[in-house]
Amino acid sequence: MKTSIATVSISGDLREKLDAIAGAGFHGVEIFENDFLIYDASPREVGRMVRDAGLALTLFQPFRDFEGMPEPFRQRAFDRAERKFDIMGELGADLMLICSSTSQVALGGIDRIANDFAELGERAAKRGLRVGYEALAWGRHVSDHRDAWEVVRRADHANIGLVLDSFHTLSRRIDVNSIRAIPADKIFIVQLADAPDFDMDLLYWSRHFRNMPGEGDLPVVDFMRAVSATGYDGVISLEIFNDQFRAADSRAVAVDGQRSLLNLMDQVQRAEPQLAINLPAIAPPVEVERVEFVEFTADRHAAEPLVAMLGAMGFRHTGQHRSKDVARYEQGGISVVVNSDSRGLAHRTFQTRGLSAYAFGVRVPDAAAALDRAVALGAKPFTQNLKSDDLNLPAVKGVGGGLVYFFDDSEALAKVWDTEFVALGSPEPIADAGLGRFDHIAQSMPYDEMLRWLLFYSSTLKVEKTPLVDIIDPSGLVRSQVVQNDDRSLRITMNGAENPATVAGQFLAETLGAGIQHLAFASDDIFATAEILQSRGFVPLQISPNYYEDLEARFGLDPDFVARLKRHQIMYDEDAGGRYLQLYSPILSGGFFFEIVERQGYDGYGAANAIFRIAAQRRLVGSRAMQSGRAAT
Ligand SMILES: O=C(O)c1ccc(O)c(O)c1
Ligand SMILES: [Mg+2]
């Protein structure tokens, strides 16, 4: 597998781009003409920079409005092409991309266009150069790779070939199987991009919203399967026009790019096992059996309100670490670990970020294989310090520098709870509150990190992602997207905040970064759970009474049922599959909170209720601020 990426995909000047691209392990780079034109170095120097960075110069692009021109424009187009060939000679580039014309004066006609390319092929051959033709989705006469291929076929010149770009094909929903019949040696390069499924003008969509394969909604795997079926094993090159990426950290975006290509080709290889794709063998996507535990960082003092809330929710203190200040709380199949020790990553995290749910563990069939896959795809392994206070499990760094642990049934790991913890008998066995398992883990992060973590989860784990939804916070937009496995034993919701005034944005500011902002537990009878919680003094988040008025009318609910919901401050939603009931805790320090849900066939996350929940949280935070203000005076 030879990977490449266009300089337009990355932020910085040409030097920074090349460093980031080489650092991430790409084989080559496409020089986008503008990046070269605005850079203050000669073509020869730029060519040397590319080679010194250890990169191949895979493509020089784009050359526009070449084909189908009437005279005198035709002659000028050829003259322009010769000038670019001169520059390519100095750069040391041997492949040029010509994208289909958008010029108002360009004429159509496959043969006319093919003749132009045949003549250009002659000129390119004299200089040892090759030219690839790409159908822009918005091209004036050619906007479909099938037509571009017909042009190339009729041009019938060894130095003229086709450029396939997944965005142009997939944005127009062209059948990718039409690619399978193209001879591999006539495909000069393959460009790859994904995009979110937006209904918008093709050019605008392409120039601003492309993203890495696997980050969007286009069937890029199907596209690449068709390309691979031709026998093509040349360069696969990312060409990602994305405003966010151009403003982001160049190195991180380059690493994401490399991960996306590896993950893409791994999927192609698994779908087409008969193809011999030149790819390092990596472990298969990790099947998650369940969320094993979530770990909080705290100290004795900060742990108090958390532990009190866990107690009110029916958790029992069932274990204590043999040598460290780490406690385990359990209910049903849920384990919560509170790490108040004064050593290790947990403590360092606590010192900088305060009380936070910084780690979670998932049970998988083979923890070592899970770690291998994550690391092969660019995750950073967390290497344990034997003296640290962190659980001794395989782990990688996740959102906000937190950890994702892998847990399996192998002897040592299965016994972690027994070997590292002393089981505590409960002196007064308290009834649990009917919480059986984790329903979802909700992580908040800056919006521009969302695609990265979406790709992290969806490439490492066997999960699917849901479409992006907008959550309306009264202070701004929060975008939310979910990764979940088939049986829904893993559900991770990711909230991306752009605006620091939103509740998610405030969480990021208060905890100095991304992380788990809330945990949702599942109950099979939320009313019974709510009764028990109430008897323990748990006061749920107080929802506006207007919400309940509206609810009754919105869903045509029985007034008595709505009165019960209101009594317990339970929120309600419906989807095609059934009903959803949700209850929220107040906010703990650092902006963390719990949710309790009951699903009756419902598969979503109550997005329609988020605005009411967020408004209630704002009122709570506001009234606390007033009270502490009063206490201070
Ligand atoms: O948006 C464009 O103009 C443009 C240019 C060159 C490409 O390879 C492409 O896919 C799009
Ligand atoms: Mg392209």
pLDDT tens digits, one per residue of 328-339: 999 999 999 999
CA of 15 relative to ligand 1 center, distance in Å:
22
- The tokens describing 467, both together, are 């479409």
The pair phi, psi for residue 239, each rounded to 5°, is: -130, 95
Structure tokens belonging to residue 268: 């192609």
pLDDT at residue 387 in the model: 56
Whether residue 312 contacts residue 537, with contact meaning beta carbons closer than 8 Å, is answered with yes
Q: Are 142 and 165 in contact (CB under 8 A)?
A: no
Q: What is the band of 453 on the pLDDT scale with cuts at 50, 70, 90?
A: very high
List the chain domain ranges. 62-271, 290-423, 435-625
pLDDT digit string, tens, across residues 207-245: 999 999 999 999 999 999 999 999 999 999 999 999 999
Q: Give the residue carrying structure tokens 């703990």.
A: 588
> CA-CA distance, 394 to 408, in Å (whole number)?
10
Specify the pLDDT at position 498. 83
Average pLDDT over residues 32-45: 93
DSSP readout, 248-298?
S-HHHHHHHHHHHHHHHHHHHHHH-TTS-------PPPBPP-EEEEEEEE-
Q: Please give the CATH architecture assigned to the domain spanning 62-271.
A: Alpha-Beta Barrel (3.20)
Q: Which of 237, 161, 231 is nearest to 193 (CA)?
A: 237
Residue 392: pLDDT band (50, 70, 90) is low
Of 193, 166, 111, 216, the residue nearest 458 (C-alpha): 216
- List b or e across 397-419, with b for residues whose CB sees 16 or more CB atoms inside 10 angstroms: bbbbbbbbbbbbeeeebeebbee
The residue contributing the CA closest to ligand 1 atom 2 is 207
What value does the mean pLDDT take over residues 579-605? 95
**Residue 154 carries which DSSP code?**
H
- On whether the CB atoms of residues 93 and 31 are closer than 8 A, the answer is yes
Per-residue model confidence (pLDDT) at position 519 = 97
pLDDT grade, residue 547 (50/70/90)?
A: very high
The CB of 134 under 6 Å from ligand 1? The reply is: yes
Report the DSSP beta bridge partners of residue 31: 60
- Token reading at 519: 């945990």
Work out which ligand 1 atom sits closest to the CA atom of 165.
10
Cβ distance 139 to 108 under 8 Å? no
Residue 368: the pLDDT is 94
Above 80 in pLDDT, residue 427? no
Rounded to the nearest 5°, which phi and psi values hold at 130? -125, 155
Beta carbon of 65 within 6 Å of any ligand 1 atom: no
pLDDT-derived band at 386 (thresholds 50, 70, 90) equals low
Mean pLDDT value across residues 543-551: 95
Tell me the three state secondary structure of residue 332. coil
573 annotated among ligand-binding-site residues: no
Q: How far is the CA of 225 from the centre of ligand 1 (A)?
A: 22
Please give the Cα distance from 189 to 318 (Å, whole number).
59
Q: Residue 384: is its pLDDT beyond 70?
A: no
Contacts of 100 (CB under 8 A, 6+ apart): 67, 133, 134, 135, 136, 139, 140, 141, 142, 143, 148
Q: What pLDDT, on the 0 to 100 scale, is given for residue 390?
A: 53
239 is in an annotated binding site: yes
What local confidence, expressed as pLDDT, does residue 103 receive? 97
Q: Give the model confidence (pLDDT) of 182-208 as tens digits.
A: 999 999 999 999 999 999 999 999 999
Compute the mean pLDDT over every residue in the chain, rounded to the nearest whole number: 93
Is 595 annotated as a binding-site member? yes
User: Residue 307: its pLDDT value, please?
Assistant: 96
- Of 32, 142, 239, which is best to mutate to test ligand 1, by the most ligand atoms within 8 angstroms of its C-beta? 239
Does residue 460 have a pLDDT over 90? Answer: yes
- Residue 193 CA: nearest ligand 1 atom is 10
**Cα 262 from Cα 483, distance rounded (Å):** 20
147 lines ligand 1 (CB under 6 A): no
**Under 8 Å between Cβ of 382 and 395:** yes
CA-to-CA dists, residue 598 to 130, 206, 594, angstroms: 62, 41, 14
Rounded CA separation 307/302 (Å): 9
Q: What is the pLDDT of residue 385?
A: 63
The yes-or-no verdict on residue 389 having pLDDT over 70 is no
Report the atom number in ligand 1 closest to the C-alpha of 134. 8
User: Do you find a cis peptide bond into 72, omega within 30 degrees of 0?
Assistant: yes
Q: What is the pLDDT of residue 428?
A: 64
Element (H, E) at 619: helix 610-632
**Ligand 1 pocket, residue 62 CB under 6 Å:** yes
Joined together, the tokens standing for residue 293 give 């535990």
565 has pLDDT over 70: yes
Nearest to 378 by CA among 260, 212, 269: 260
pLDDT, greater one: 383 or 494: 494
Which ligand sits closest to the CA of 164? 2
Ordered DSSP codes for 404-424: EEEE-SSHHHHTHHHHHEEE-
User: What architecture is the 290-423 domain classified under in CATH?
Assistant: Roll (3.10)
Say yes or no: do domains 290-423 and 435-625 share a fold.
yes
Q: In the predicted model, what is the mean pLDDT of residues 449-455?
A: 95
Q: Which is the closest atom of ligand 1 to the Cα of 6?
A: 8
**Class of 435-625 per CATH?**
alpha beta
Q: Provide the pLDDT for residue 624.
A: 82
Please tell me whether 145 is known to bind a ligand: no
At 340 the three-state DSSP class reads coil
> Can you tell me the distance from the alpha carbon of 217 to that of 198, in angstroms, rounded to the nearest whole number?
9
Question: Would you place residue 388 in the very low, low, confident or very high pLDDT band (cuts 50, 70, 90)?
Answer: low
Contacts of 609 (CB under 8 A, 6+ apart): 571, 572, 573, 582
The answer to whether the bond into 62 is cis (omega within 30° of 0) is: yes
CA 241 to ligand 2 center in whole angstroms: 10
| H helices present in 67-173, as ranges | 73-91, 110-126, 145-155, 166-171
Between the alpha carbon of residue 609 and those of residues 554, 579, 580, 616, the distances in Å are: 12, 13, 11, 11
Ligand 1 center to 209 CA (angstroms): 13
Cβ neighbours of 367 (radius 10 Å): 23
pLDDT > 70 fraction of the chain, expressed in percent and rounded: 97
Residue of 9, 8, 64 whose CA lies nearest to 38: 8
Q: Quick check: 631 pLDDT over 70? A: no
The arithmetic mean of pLDDT across residues 602-616, rounded, is: 94
